[in-house]
């Protein structure tokens, strides 16, 4: 641990720039950032460039908070805040966090709370001394958002202790970086259980920690953590690129069995992965399987999550810093750019990405400060994996829906709750808004959509604009919640309808229940709009099996006949297709010298490796699980 001398050295450096009248009372390390506690915030804010000069001088991110002795009492402070903030901000809640000397203001219009050039927030600070943190309210109720926000305040003392301990560790001196290597613990020549261990002679950083949703067999479902050669407590940090379970689903296990370090992700990823992890526990339990972790472990994980926005440079060890870049895959999905050993090596780990147009997100970023190695997915890396344009896919989807409705049938669309559900909802809202065809939403789709409305800045500007104008496409009367309804009554009704239900690969959940009710009627249709895992029920049906094994109400295997029409509409995937993958690698600036193809079936990884090596003249490889590769 760093001694008090390190803090004293920082204080000396800060005081070289900070005017005495600011009255600095304390300096604390909170993870990768430094917090200055002041008695006179007015003196600090009078110089707009002061915080930038201090941050440049000590080369750390700076946060400002008032000293506890000058804080206005909470009741009086809330009254004053509601007077300062304009009424049209739509304040929903004001909560005080005395552990961090912060006031959390949740509102429907955060921009109004902030004010032009931050003027309203500045007035809140100067008049109450509390440091404001502004959060957006979801446009429809979200149990997950409420639970997370309450938990973060309730567990402030635990989080503060964790951040202070981590911060002191970050001040430790490290010897120079001698070598860098990467080890594949999952997702090499397969889709699922993404997990890579980045190591130097000083550090151990894990990139993603997912599970394989195709199977419950432990040898295939979970990453090869026992092959790391080190205890979990030796991991310095975990970086999660996005919330899908094959990238975040095994993370709580680390905290259940000894890991106490930080997890870095974007704010939407934090909220969505809690939603999906809790659902994973519920689904496994309902199917008679034992989950690898409990809800208590998910809550413990949450206390250790540090969120970072796109473009925010963060030190995760004394010799490694990283930056998130938009991946275009799902809400908050990110590519991680890692700057290792004072520039010794620069790695881009893409996670899953989309280098093409969608209705929800901007396409993946391709510009980085420096790039030596890229580790990229190739889910759709085969020569035949060429997807149509999004407008063509939309027309095809609507054609199948209208054909089914005209013959008196109903449409089932299995969807991933995060990403695919919202993409399809946007399309249905566009084409069915004036038709009397309800769209039933079942599973986690509605909760996930509510979380989307909290983070409009992470979506395409058209969707962003609609949410900011109180016209969220996810809250239209067209969409009916099927949760709590009689599914059989929906299927037996004479009214035509479309049903969006999880899971997207028919691995469980309401989509399977609807399939059981709809499969016998040849007038009905089921439309696949996303990737189907190799061993999943979805893949079996997609491949043309007319009779499939399925669990009945007594948890026994039954045979289900597939009489309904089965269609696949390509083009809605959040993954890049083959051409988009190649275009993405061509567009990366600066060009890398090495590219590793992962997160794809074996033949696709091998084919993409040959193609990329030949076309781009780089060292292209398709590592196997447990391969360790020295990068420098």
- Domain of 309: which CATH number? 3.60.15.10
| Residues 370 and 422 occupy one common structural domain | no
Pairwise pLDDT comparison (456 vs 229), residue with the higher score: 456
Euclidean distance between CA atoms 32 and 170, whole angstroms: 7
> Does some domain include residue 78?
yes
Final residue belonging to a domain, choices 514, 547, 568: 568
User: 3: pLDDT confidence band, cut at 50, 70 and 90?
Assistant: low
| Residues 349 and 455 occupy one common structural domain | no
Q: Which of 82, 85, 78 shows the shortest CA–CA distance to 112? A: 85
pLDDT for the residue 1: 41
> Does some domain include residue 49?
no
- Strands (E) located in 382-423: 411-414
User: 92: pLDDT confidence band, cut at 50, 70 and 90?
Assistant: very high
Average pLDDT (540-559) is: 84
Would the pLDDT of 217 be above 80?
no
- The domain spanning residue 491 has which CATH number? 3.40.50.10890
pLDDT for the residue 138: 96
| Residues 216 and 343 occupy one common structural domain | yes
| Residues 306 and 401 occupy one common structural domain | no
Pairwise pLDDT comparison (440 vs 550), residue with the higher score: 440
With a CB cutoff of 8 Å and minimum separation 6, the contacts of 173 are: 318
How many structural domains are present in the chain?
3
Q: For residue 40, how many other CB atoms are within 10 A of its CB?
A: 17
pLDDT for the residue 5: 74
Would the pLDDT of 580 be above 80?
yes
With a CB cutoff of 8 Å and minimum separation 6, the contacts of 222 are: 186, 193, 211, 212, 250, 253, 292
Average pLDDT (602-611) is: 97
* Residue-number span of the structural domain to which 246 is assigned: 180-383+575-630
Pairwise pLDDT comparison (205 vs 15), residue with the higher score: 205
Q: How many CA atoms lie within 13 A of 66 on its CB side?
A: 26
> Does some domain include residue 493?
yes
Give the rounded percent of residues in the chain with a pLDDT score beyond 70. Answer: 99
Would the pLDDT of 78 be above 50?
yes
Would the pLDDT of 4 be above 80?
no
Average pLDDT (50-71) is: 91
Long-range contacts of 460-466 (CB under 8 A, 24+ apart): 460/358, 460/359, 460/360, 460/361, 460/362, 462/359, 463/359, 463/360, 463/426
> Does some domain include residue 3?
no
- Strands (E) located in 341-409: 345-349, 373-377
Would the pLDDT of 2 be above 50?
no
Final residue belonging to a domain, choices 516, 538, 568: 568
In the structure encoding, which two tokens stand for residue 127, read together? 């008049």
> Does some domain include residue 484?
yes
| Residues 364 and 432 occupy one common structural domain | no
> Does some domain include residue 558?
yes
Average pLDDT (48-61) is: 88
Average pLDDT (331-353) is: 96
Q: In what order do the strands lie in the sheet with 24-30?
A: 24-30, 33-38, 61-66
> Does some domain include residue 18?
no
User: 530: pLDDT confidence band, cut at 50, 70 and 90?
Assistant: confident
Euclidean distance between CA atoms 609 and 3, whole angstroms: 48
Span 292-334, pLDDT tens digits: 999 999 999 999 999 999 999 999 999 999 999 999 999 999 9
- The domain spanning residue 100 has which CATH number? 3.30.300.20
DSSP 23-54: -EEEEEEETTEEEEEES-HHHHHTSTTHHHHH
| Residues 542 and 583 occupy one common structural domain | no
Average pLDDT (15-27) is: 92
Q: What is the pTM of this model?
A: 0.93
pLDDT for the residue 414: 95
Average pLDDT (338-355) is: 96
Angle 602-616/578-587 helices, nearest 10 degrees?
40
| Residues 461 and 528 occupy one common structural domain | yes
> Does some domain include residue 23?
no
Would the pLDDT of 556 be above 80?
no
Instruction: Convert 344-380 to b/e letters by CB count within 10 Å (16 or more is b).
Output: bbbbbbbbbbbbbebbbbebbbbebeebbbbbbbbbb
Q: Are strands 345-349 and 334-340 parallel, antiparallel or unpaired?
A: antiparallel
Q: For residue 5, how many other CB atoms are within 10 A of its CB?
A: 9
Handedness of CA 507, 284, 425, 272 (dihedral sign): negative
| Residues 372 and 227 occupy one common structural domain | yes
Radius of gyration of the chain (CA): 25
**Helix, strand, coil percentages, rounded to 5, for the chain:** 40, 20, 40
| Residues 377 and 419 occupy one common structural domain | no
| Residues 376 and 244 occupy one common structural domain | yes
| Residues 416 and 461 occupy one common structural domain | yes
- Could you tell me which residues are beta bridge partners of residue 597? 376
pLDDT for the residue 233: 92
Final residue belonging to a domain, choices 529, 546, 568: 568
Query: What average pLDDT does the chain have?
Result: 93
Average pLDDT (244-260) is: 96
Q: Which of 126, 114, 119 shows the shortest CA–CA distance to 72? A: 126
- Lowest-confidence region among 158-167, 252-261, 417-426, 551-560: 551-560
- Lowest-confidence region among 63-77, 153-167, 480-494, 544-558: 544-558
Would the pLDDT of 499 be above 90?
yes
| Residues 224 and 306 occupy one common structural domain | yes
């Amino acid at each position: 641990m760093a001694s008090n001398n390190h803090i004293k050295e920082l204080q000396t450096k800060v005081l070289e720039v900070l005017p005495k009248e600011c009255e600095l009372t304390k300096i604390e390390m909170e993870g990768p950032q430094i917090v200055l506690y002041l008695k006179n915030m007015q003196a600090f804010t009078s110089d707009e460039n002061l915080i930038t000069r201090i941050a440049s001088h000590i080369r750390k991110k700076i946060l400002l908070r008032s000293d506890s002795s000058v804080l206005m009492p909470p009741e009086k402070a809330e009254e004053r805040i509601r007077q300062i903030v304009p009424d049209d901000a739509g304040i929903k809640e004001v909560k005080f966090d005395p552990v961090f000397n912060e006031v959390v203001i949740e509102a429907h219009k955060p921009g109004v709370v902030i004010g032009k050039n931050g003027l309203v927030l500045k007035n809140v600070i100067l008049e109450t001394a509390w440091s404001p943190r502004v959060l957006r309210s979801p446009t429809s109720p979200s149990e997950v958002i409420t639970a997370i926000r309450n938990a973060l305040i309730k567990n402030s003392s635990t989080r503060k202790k964790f951040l202070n301990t981590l911060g002191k560790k970050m001040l430790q001196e490290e010897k120079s970086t001698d070598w860098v290597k990467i080890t594949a613990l999952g997702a090499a020549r397969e889709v699922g259980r993404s997990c890579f261990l980045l190591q130097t002679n000083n550090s151990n950083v894990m990139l993603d920690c997912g599970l394989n949703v195709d199977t419950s067999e432990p040898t295939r479902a979970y990453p090869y953590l026992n092959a790391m050669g080190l205890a979990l407590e030796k991991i310095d940090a975990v970086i999660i690129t996005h919330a899908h379970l094959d990238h975040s689903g095994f993370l709580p296990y680390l905290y259940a069995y000894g890991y106490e370090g930080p997890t870095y992700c974007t704010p939407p990823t934090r909220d969505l992965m809690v939603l999906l992890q809790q659902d994973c526990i519920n689904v496994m339990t309902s199917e008679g399987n034992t989950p690898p972790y409990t809800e208590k472990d998910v809550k413990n994980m949450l206390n250790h999550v540090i969120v970072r926005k796109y473009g925010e440079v963060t030190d995760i060890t004394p010799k490694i810093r990283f930056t998130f870049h938009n991946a275009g895959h799902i809400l908050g999905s990110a590519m991680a750019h890692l700057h290792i050993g004072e520039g010794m090596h620069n790695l881009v780990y893409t996670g899953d990405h989309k280098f093409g147009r969608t209705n929800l997100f901007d396409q993946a970023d391709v510009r980085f400060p420096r790039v030596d190695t890229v580790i990229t997915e190739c889910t759709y890396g085969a020569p035949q994996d060429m997807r149509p344009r999004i407008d063509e896919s939309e027309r095809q989807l609507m054609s199948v829906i209208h054909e089914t409705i005209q013959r008196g049938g109903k449409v089932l669309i299995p969807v991933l709750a995060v990403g695919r559900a919202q993409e399809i909802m946007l399309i249905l809202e566009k084409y069915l808004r004036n038709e009397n065809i309800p769209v039933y939403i079942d599973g986690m789709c509605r909760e996930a959509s509510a979380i989307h409305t909290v983070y409009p800045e992470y979506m395409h500007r058209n969707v962003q604009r609609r949410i900011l104008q109180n016209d969220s496409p996810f809250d239209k009367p067209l969409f009916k919640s099927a949760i709590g309804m009689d599914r059989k009554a929906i299927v037996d009704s004479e009214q035509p309808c479309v049903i969006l239900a999880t899971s997207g690969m028919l691995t469980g959940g309401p989509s399977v229940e609807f399939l059981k009710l709809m499969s016998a009627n040849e007038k009905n249709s089921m439309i696949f709009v996303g990737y189907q895992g190799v061993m999943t029920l979805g893949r079996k049906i997609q491949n043309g099996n007319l009779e499939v094994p399925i669990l009945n109400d007594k948890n026994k295997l039954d045979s289900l006949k597939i009489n309904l029409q089965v269609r696949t509409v390509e083009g809605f995937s959040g993954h890049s297709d083959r051409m988009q993958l190649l275009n993405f690698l061509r567009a990366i600036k600066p060009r890398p010298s090495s590219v590793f193809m992962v997160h794809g079936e074996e033949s696709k990884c091998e084919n993409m490796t040959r193609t990329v090596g030949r076309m781009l003249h780089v060292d292209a490889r398709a590592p196997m699980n447990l391969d360790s590769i020295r990068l420098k």
